[in-house]
């Protein structure tokens, strides 16, 4: 059973610990949002909540925010929850429902509202960048819920968005998680940094250039089934489980390298769909996207995983495929050094990915669940 800590929960929590030291009241309010009940006072008909004017921004959501609690009349703090809608992808992205919101948008916002803060739902539209940044200056805190890769896929620039968030931080605005926390804790090459720990895999490699990728992948693929992960992907997009159709694996690593015409059988983690391509076609897609040399692709992704180089987050991680993933993975949600909950995520029958929306089964446990006692103890002691 694979172990995976909740990257977002850890990033967000540590981001708050670092960024909120100077503003304990806001930190306490945000922490309260996590555990708050849903008691609230409904505004009277003659009073209007004191909200930030965002009328200059496009409202993307297709519903009137169904399920959102009424905003407080005099909020303790004013917060924004920022998402992005990718027009080229079904529902605006694999993390969205048919409303245009992320699945967790309304619950997160309601948690903030239940703690006495306002929480306005905003979609970042790249063409409205300047107006968006100006509007964000009216908030005390910004919760960023844009999956890696989505801003670029929507026609924007991740670096431009990140720089804007950093500028807001310098003006005293809180950004959760901050771009730097996302970069330092969310980059896939973190898997290389733990390769020699007891929870790592020693044959884990990161590629930052087309030449490195072509040479390295041909060698690892000739040895055993692999998992290739793009850095900017989330919810399984751009994460490929790959096997040689011929099963012609060499006995020892490095005994041979794949040729360009060898056939790959592939499954993408975002939706468990299968594709068949040659080694050359896969490398071309990863480097240059859809071209005359990459063949026909069914994925919603665009490839070009190395675009921009290392500085812009362009990278691919190459890991051994662990067949026991069919038993599922365990996510431990952490706030600092405290486990707040455990989730067992099991792929649907015949699938490999346990990403939400693929038919996978999620079972939720408390932090002291006896089923995971040994795992929890190891995570808190041996793996630190």
3-state secondary structure string across the chain: CEEEECHHHHHHHHHHHHHCCCCHHHHHHHHHHHHCCCCCCCCCCCCCCCCCCCCCCCCCCCCCCCCCCCCCCCCCCEEEEEECCCCCCHHHCCCECCCCCECCHHHHHHHHHHCCCEEEEEECCHHHHHHHHHHHCCCCEEEECCCCCHHHHCCCCHHHHHHHHHHHHHCCCEEECCHHHHHHHHCCCHHHHCCCCCCCCCCCEEECCHHHHHHHHHHHHCCCCEEEEECCCCCCCCEEEEEECCCCCCCCCCCCCCCCCCEEEEEECCCCCEEEEEHHHHHHHHHHCCCCCCCCCCCCCCCCCCCCCHHHCCCEEEEECCHHHHHCEEEEEEECCEEEEEEEEECCCCCCCCCCCCCCEEEEECCCCHHHHHHHHHHHCCCC
Whether residues 75 and 215 share a domain: the answer is: no
- pTM for the full predicted model: 0.65
Which CATH number does the domain housing residue 178 bear?
3.40.50
Q: How many domains does the chain have?
A: 3
Whether residues 181 and 277 share a domain: the answer is: no
Share of the chain above pLDDT 70, in %: 86
Q: What pLDDT is stored for residue 210 in this prediction?
A: 97
Task: Look up residue 359 and give its two tokens.
Answer: 């038919």
Say if residue 79's pLDDT is above 90: yes
Q: What pLDDT is stored for residue 281 in this prediction?
A: 98
* C-alpha span between 347 and 44 (Å, rounded): 47
pLDDT digits (tens, 9 = 90+) for 153-180: 899 998 899 999 999 999 999 999 999 8
* C-alpha span between 292 and 135 (Å, rounded): 43
pLDDT digits (tens, 9 = 90+) for 283-301: 999 999 999 999 999 998 8
Whether residues 209 and 252 share a domain: the answer is: yes
Whether residues 79 and 214 share a domain: the answer is: no
* C-alpha span between 108 and 93 (Å, rounded): 19
Average pLDDT over residues 262-291: 95
Whether residues 57 and 108 share a domain: the answer is: yes
Q: Cβ(117)–Cβ(47) under 8 Å?
A: no
Whether residues 216 and 312 share a domain: the answer is: yes
Say if residue 29's pLDDT is above 70: no
Q: What pLDDT is stored for residue 166 in this prediction?
A: 97
Q: What pLDDT is stored for residue 379 in this prediction?
A: 82
Q: What pLDDT is stored for residue 242 in this prediction?
A: 97
Q: What pLDDT is stored for residue 384 in this prediction?
A: 65
Whether residues 317 and 333 share a domain: the answer is: no
Residue 348 lies in a domain: yes
Task: Look up residue 257 and give its two tokens.
Answer: 């390298």
Q: What pLDDT is stored for residue 195 in this prediction?
A: 87
Say if residue 76's pLDDT is above 60: yes
Domain that holds residue 276: 190-321
Mean pLDDT of the chain, nearest integer: 85
Tell me which of 334 and 256 has the higher pLDDT. Answer: 256
Q: What pLDDT is stored for residue 234 in this prediction?
A: 62
Residue 55 lies in a domain: yes
Task: Look up residue 38 and give its two tokens.
Answer: 């849903």
| Domain end (from 321, 338, 353) | 321
Residue 169 lies in a domain: yes
Tell me which of 292 and 18 has the higher pLDDT. Answer: 292
Residue 2 lies in a domain: no
Whether residues 239 and 180 share a domain: the answer is: no
Whether residues 165 and 247 share a domain: the answer is: no
Residue 3 lies in a domain: no
Say if residue 309's pLDDT is above 80: yes
Residue 1 lies in a domain: no
Confidence band of 46 (pLDDT split at 50, 70, 90): low
Average pLDDT over residues 236-241: 88
Share of the chain above pLDDT 90, in %: 58
Say if residue 7's pLDDT is above 60: no
Q: What pLDDT is stored for residue 181 in this prediction?
A: 86
Convert 53-85 to b/e letters by CB count within 10 Å (16 or more is b). ebeebeebbeeeeeebbebbeebbbbbbbbbbb
| Domain end (from 142, 170, 185) | 185
Whether residues 26 and 131 share a domain: the answer is: yes
Residue 131 lies in a domain: yes
* C-alpha span between 111 and 343 (Å, rounded): 20
Q: What pLDDT is stored for residue 57 in this prediction?
A: 96
Say if residue 14's pLDDT is above 70: no
Task: Look up residue 337 and give its two tokens.
Answer: 């050094």
pLDDT digits (tens, 9 = 90+) for 140-160: 999 999 987 789 889 999 889
pLDDT digits (tens, 9 = 90+) for 339-379: 999 999 998 887 777 776 678 899 999 999 999 999 888 88
Whether residues 155 and 238 share a domain: the answer is: no
| Domain end (from 125, 156, 185) | 185
Residue 230 lies in a domain: yes
Say if residue 12's pLDDT is above 50: no
Tell me which of 195 and 83 has the higher pLDDT. Answer: 83
Whether residues 255 and 353 share a domain: the answer is: no
């Amino acid at each position: 059973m694979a172990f995976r800590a909740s990257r977002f929960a850890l990033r967000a929590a540590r981001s708050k610990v670092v960024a909120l030291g100077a503003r304990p009241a806001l930190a306490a309010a945000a922490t309260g949002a996590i555990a708050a009940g849903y008691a609230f006072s409904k505004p009277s008909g003659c009073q209007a909540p004191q909200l930030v004017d965002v009328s200059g921004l496009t409202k993307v959501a297709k519903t009137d925010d169904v399920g959102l609690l009424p905003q407080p009349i005099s909020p303790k703090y004013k917060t924004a929850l920022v998402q992005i809608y990718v027009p080229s992808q079904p529902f605006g992205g694999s993390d969205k429902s048919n409303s245009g919101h992320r699945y967790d948008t309304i619950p997160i916002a309601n948690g903030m509202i239940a703690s006495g803060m306002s929480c306005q739902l905003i979609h970042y539209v790249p063409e409205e960048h300047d107006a968006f940044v100006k509007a964000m200056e009216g908030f005390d805190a910004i919760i960023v819920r844009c999956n890696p890769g989505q801003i670029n896929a929507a026609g924007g620039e991740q670096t431009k968005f990140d720089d804007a968030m950093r500028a807001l931080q310098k003006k005293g605005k809180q950004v959760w998680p901050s771009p730097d926390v996302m970069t330092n804790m969310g980059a896939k090459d973190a898997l290389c940094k733990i390769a020699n720990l007891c929870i790592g895999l020693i044959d884990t490699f990161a590629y930052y250039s087309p030449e490195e990728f072509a040479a390295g992948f041909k060698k690892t693929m000739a040895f055993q089934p692999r998992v290739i992960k793009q850095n900017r992907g989330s919810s399984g997009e751009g994460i490929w489980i790959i096997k040689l159709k011929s099963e012609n694996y060499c006995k020892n690593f490095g005994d041979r390298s794949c040729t360009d015409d060898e056939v790959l059988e592939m499954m993408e983690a975002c939706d468990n769909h299968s594709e068949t391509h040659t080694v050359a076609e896969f490398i071309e897609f990863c480097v240059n996207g859809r071209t005359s040399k990459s063949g026909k692709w069914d994925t919603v992704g665009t490839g070009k995983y190395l675009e921009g180089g290392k500085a812009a987050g362009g990278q691919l991680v190459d890991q051994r495929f662990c067949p026991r993933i069919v038993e599922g993975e365990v996510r431990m949600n952490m706030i600092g050094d405290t486990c707040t909950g455990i989730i067992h995520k099991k792929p649907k029958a015949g699938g490999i990915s346990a990403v939400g929306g693929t038919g996978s089964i999620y079972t939720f446990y408390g932090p002291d669940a006896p089923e995971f006692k040994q795992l929890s103890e190891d995570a808190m002691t041996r793996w630190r």
